[in-house]
Amino acid sequence: MPRTARDVVFVDGVRTPFGKAGPKGLYAQTRADDLVVRAIRELMRRNPSLPPGRVDEVAIAATTQIGDQGLTIGRSAAVLAGLPKSVPGYAVDRMCAGAMTAVTSTGAGIAFGAYDVAIAGGVEHMGRHPMGEGVDPNPRFLAEKLVDPSALVMGSTAENLHDRYPEITKERADAYAVRSQRKVAAAYADGKIQPDLVPAAVRSAELGWGLATEDEPPRPGTTAEGLAALKTPFRVHGNVTAGNAAGLNDGATACLLAAEDVAGELGLTPRMRLVDFSFAGVEPEVMGVGPVPATERLLARNALGMDDIGLIEINEAFAVQVLAFLEHFKIADDDARVNPWGGAIALGHPLAASGVRLMNQLSRLFEERPDVRYGLTTMCVGMGMGGSVLWENVIWEGAK
């Protein structure tokens, strides 16, 4: 039978507060799967008109699929969250773009007609599972010089990007990082970030049970002078520091996607419409430049220019990576369209979970900006990739 692609909408998104990875972090004694279960349950609680049995798929990403992030986490989290056993699920791995890929994969399935409703998200507990845990890179990568040795160290790839863009100085990266911290502090003060957060139970053998209600990583008192004094661990006299890069973090995200007609049938209120997406490969040793070709393909395919994009949520793995994107598209470092409420340098980057955080913030911004039609979520990806997703504001005033 002939098929017609359907419009796909982002209905809702939530996340746990993000924590600092490590023995003293917020989630040091909390399981990774429990974090994503909390997000899924909250998503269902906030959308009571959705019968649990109408969820057709649960796709959850994790970069390190081992231990409490293993066991086909999309399926295991769905069962633990109390969804009917008839609801299937699967795991996704595209490193930092895991949750983004969970969204684009299930979104494509909805457009095709294979699903009506899906849950997509990601989780990363970098305290329990450091990046690269259990990985055994094929020796051919280095023996046959398929990649530069620095390609396997994300901080080194950021230093390589500084080399490629010498106009992006450490001072410029630090200035960007300070702005990110300030924007997050202002967004918290204005109550912009809190609506996405689902309180999560945390356990400490010493302190007992507690409740995580806000992000742990932000450092609102950050100054350029303070950042200038930080060590450059990836290169002597380098440019990348703990202050102008995202930290090691724990957290989970989840979002609800649906066919637009089905959302109407079920009484679900869409926040934004999925227009298109693109993933692109680049040299692994400069993986941070990945969002550039991914976005170029996306814009070209949709006959759009960067001037048509009213809001940009770009993941701040490293300040230099964001600045390289802005440099390429001739966007000012302080352009108001870019991460208006701050980004991962302040909020944290629990790898596979981050893509949905970008989407959550974009959807909230759309609610406040009916004058904006198109928004972009984009990120760099380890091993040399970039991902970009184009969204349309469902309340764009030009559609009236």
* Per-residue model confidence as pLDDT tens digits over 10-54: 999 999 999 999 999 999 999 999 999 999 999 999 999 999 999
Rounded percentage of the chain residues whose pLDDT exceeds 90: 94
* pLDDT at 205 exceeding the cut of 90: no
Q: Among this protein's residues, is 380 annotated catalytic?
A: yes
Higher pLDDT pick, 134 / 99:
99
What percent of the chain is predicted at pLDDT more than 70?
A: 99
For residues 125 and 350, give the distance between their C-alpha atoms in angstroms, rounded to a whole number.
7
Give the range among 176-180, 211-215, 396-400 with minimum mean pLDDT. 396-400
Question: With bands split at pLDDT 50, 70 and 90, how would you rate the model's confidence at 207?
Answer: confident
Taking the domains of the chain in order of start, what are their residue ranges?
141-192+275-390
Q: Where residue 204 falls among pLDDT bands split at 50, 70, 90?
A: confident
Which whole-number Å values give the CA distances from 286 to 134, 140, 158, 177, 337, in the listed order? 24, 19, 7, 20, 25
Q: Does the pLDDT at position 400 exceed 70? A: no
Question: Of the residues 96, 125, 129, 255, which is catalytic?
Answer: 96
Instruction: Give 136's contacts (C-beta < 8 A, 6+ positions apart).
Output: none
Separation CA 373–CA 276 (nearest Å): 14
pLDDT at residue 106, rounded to an integer: 98
Beta bridge partners of 297: none
One of 129, 162, 255, 380 is an active-site residue; which one? 380
Residue 255 annotated in active site: no
Q: DSSP string of 110-128? A: HHHTS-SEEEEEEEEETTT
Q: 164-202: per-residue pLDDT in tens?
A: 999 999 999 999 999 999 999 999 999 999 999 999 999
Residue 4 has a pLDDT of 75
pTM here?
Answer: 0.97
CATH topology classification for 141-192+275-390: Peroxisomal Thiolase; Chain A, domain 1 (3.40.47)
| CA atoms of 168 and 297, how far apart (whole Å) | 24
Looking at 125, 129, 162, 349, which residue is catalytic?
Answer: 349
- Say whether 125 is catalytic: no
Residue 239 has pLDDT above 70, yes or no: yes
Q: How confident is the model at residue 398 (pLDDT cuts 50, 70, 90)?
A: confident
